Amino acid sequence: MARKSRRELAQLDGTALPLTVREVALAAGVSPITVSRALHRPTLVSAATREHVLAVVKELGYVPNLLAGSLASSKSRLVAILLPTIANSIYATVVQAIMERLTEAGYQALIGPTGYSPEKEEELLEAILGRRPDGIVLTGTLHTPASRERLAALNIPVVEAWDLSEEALDMQVGFSHEQVGVALADHFVARGYRRFGVISVDDPRAMRRNLALQARLAALGVTEVPMEVLPLPATWEVGRIGLARLLARPEPAELVLCSSDTLALGVVAEATSRGLSIPEQLAVIGFGDTTNGRFANPALSTVSVNADAMGHRVAQSLLDRLAGDQRTVRLDTGFVLIERQSS
C-alpha cells in the first residue's frame, strides 16, 4: 500500500497544512526559486512574472514564511523607520514614499513613533534591534550618546532623514533647517515687512529654524521678533493660543511665521474670529505644504520640503547600500517657499 503524503493525511483527519513554495510553484508553472524571488527579492524577476506569481499566491491563499526566508538568507527583509509622530501628515508623506519603494524591493517596514524624544528613540532602537533589521531610518540628527554608540557599533545601514549636519551617523537625506529660517527672513524683509512674530511648538528642528530666522532678521535690522513656543503636539488650538498671546503684546505682528501648517491654520482661524483680514492686516506662513493648507480658504503660504521626493531618496539610498554601494550619502533635497493667499 502506497504511503500517503502529509497533505493527504491532513485532509483525512480534517486538519489544514500550510501551502508550500513548491505547491505554489507548481500552480504557477514556475520554479520554487522564482516564487521565492518574486516574494522576497522582486527586483530579480520581471514585473510580469512577479504579477503572475502574486496572482497565484492570492488565489491559493498562500502565506509566505518570512522567518524561513530570512534564516536562509541571514536577512530579515525588515527596515525600521522611527519618526516623531504618525499624526503629522508631513511625516506620513515621507514614510509612505519610503514604504512604497521598500515594498517594491521586497522589504517590510517596522514603524515606531518617538514622540519627539531622543530617549524614547533610544528605547525603541533597543527593542527593534532584537528583530535584526537590515536597515534603519531615523528622523533628524538629534540622538542620545547611547544611541549613537550603539548604532556605530553595528554593521547596519542608517539613514538620517529630514535634516543635514556635520556629524552624520551614516547617510543623510534632508535639508538645512537653518537655511529655511534665513530664506524666510530675506524674502519677507525684501517684501517690506518689519513686524514679525513666530508661533512654534517645542521641537528642536523647528527651534533651529526659528533661531536662524531671528538671527538673520537681527542682521537685517529687525531686532524685536516675539516668539511664542508652546508644548507639543501641534494643533489648531495651539495655533489659536499662540496668536492670542502675540496679539496681546504692545506691538502686534503684521506677519506670523508658524512651525507647521497645522499651527498656521489655527492662527488663521483665530485671526478670522477676531475680524482680522488676511493677508491685509495679518500675513500667515506655515511649514510643510500639507493638503489642508493647500485647500484652505485663504490658501496657506508655506514652505515645501519636497516630502515625497525625500522619502524616495531615503529608500533608494538605503537600498543602494544594502546592494553593496559604500559611497558617502549626504543629499540635500532642498525646500521651496510657496506664497499663496495668506501672505
What's the rounded mean pLDDT across residues 71-80?
76
| pLDDT exceeds 80 at position 39 | yes
| Beta-ladder partners of 225 | none
Domain assignment present for residue 65? The answer is: yes
Please check whether residues 205 and 291 belong to one and the same domain: yes
H or E element that contains 337: strand 336-338
CA distance 164 to 172: 6
Please check whether residues 81 and 129 belong to one and the same domain: yes
| pLDDT exceeds 70 at position 123 | yes
CA distance 112 to 203: 18
- Read off the pLDDT band of 4 (50, 70, 90): very low
Please check whether residues 160 and 187 belong to one and the same domain: no
Please check whether residues 55 and 141 belong to one and the same domain: no
Q: What is the pLDDT of residue 90?
A: 87
Q: Which amino acid is at 105?
A: A
Alpha helix stretches (DSSP H) within 31-85: 32-40, 47-60, 66-73
Please check whether residues 186 and 299 belong to one and the same domain: yes
| pLDDT exceeds 70 at position 15 | no
Instruction: Please state the separation of Cα 63 from the chain's center in Å.
Output: 29
13 vs 245, higher pLDDT: 245
CATH code where residue 201 lies? 3.40.50.2300
Q: Which amino acid is at 16?
A: A
Q: What is the pLDDT of residue 3?
A: 46
Mean pLDDT of the chain: 90
Please check whether residues 209 and 170 belong to one and the same domain: no
Please check whether residues 169 and 186 belong to one and the same domain: no
- Read off the pLDDT band of 309 (50, 70, 90): very high
Please check whether residues 132 and 82 belong to one and the same domain: yes
Q: What is the pLDDT of residue 69?
A: 55
What's the rounded mean pLDDT across residues 7-32?
71
Grid coordinates representing 204 are 528642536
Q: What is the pLDDT of residue 60?
A: 83
What's the rounded mean pLDDT across residues 291-316?
96
Angle at 314 between CA 260 and CA 302, to 5 degrees: 20
- Count Cβ atoms within 10 A of the Cβ of residue 306 and give its class: 0-12 exposed, 13-18 middle, 19 or more buried: middle
Domain assignment present for residue 23? The answer is: yes
Q: Which of 49, 71, 93 is the last residue of a domain?
A: 71
H or E element that contains 184: helix 177-190
Please check whether residues 184 and 294 belong to one and the same domain: yes
| pLDDT exceeds 60 at position 13 | no
CA distance 108 to 333: 24
Nearest to 199 by CA among 235, 251, 160, 163: 235
Please check whether residues 105 and 169 belong to one and the same domain: yes
Q: Which amino acid is at 130?
A: G
Domain assignment present for residue 339? The answer is: no
Contacts of residue 256, Cβ cutoff 8 Å, sequence gap at least 6? 196, 197, 198, 199, 243, 246, 264, 267, 282, 283, 284, 285
Q: What is the pLDDT of residue 144?
A: 96
Nearest to 307 by CA among 268, 267, 340, 334: 334
Q: Are 300 and 143 in contact (CB under 8 A)?
A: no
| pLDDT exceeds 80 at position 323 | yes
Please check whether residues 229 and 217 belong to one and the same domain: yes
Would you list the DSSP string of 133-175?
A: -SEEEEESS---HHHHHHHHHS---EEEES---SS-SSEEEE-
Domain assignment present for residue 340? The answer is: no
What Å distances lie between residue 63 and 42, 55, 292, CA to CA?
16, 13, 39
Q: What is the pLDDT of residue 32?
A: 87
- Read off the pLDDT band of 332 (50, 70, 90): very high
How do residues 187-230 score in pLDDT, each as one tens digit?
Answer: 999 999 999 999 999 999 999 999 999 999 999 999 999 999 99
Please check whether residues 205 and 284 belong to one and the same domain: yes
Number of domains in the chain: 3
Domain assignment present for residue 161? The answer is: yes
| pLDDT exceeds 70 at position 186 | yes
Q: What is the pLDDT of residue 177?
A: 97
Domain assignment present for residue 341? The answer is: no
CATH code where residue 26 lies? 1.10.260.40
Q: Which of 43, 71, 99 is the last residue of a domain?
A: 71
- Range(s) of the domain holding residue 100: 76-175+307-333
Q: What is the pLDDT of residue 155?
A: 84
How do residues 104-119 score in pLDDT, each as one tens digit?
Answer: 999 999 999 999 999 9
Q: Which of 14, 44, 71 is the last residue of a domain?
A: 71
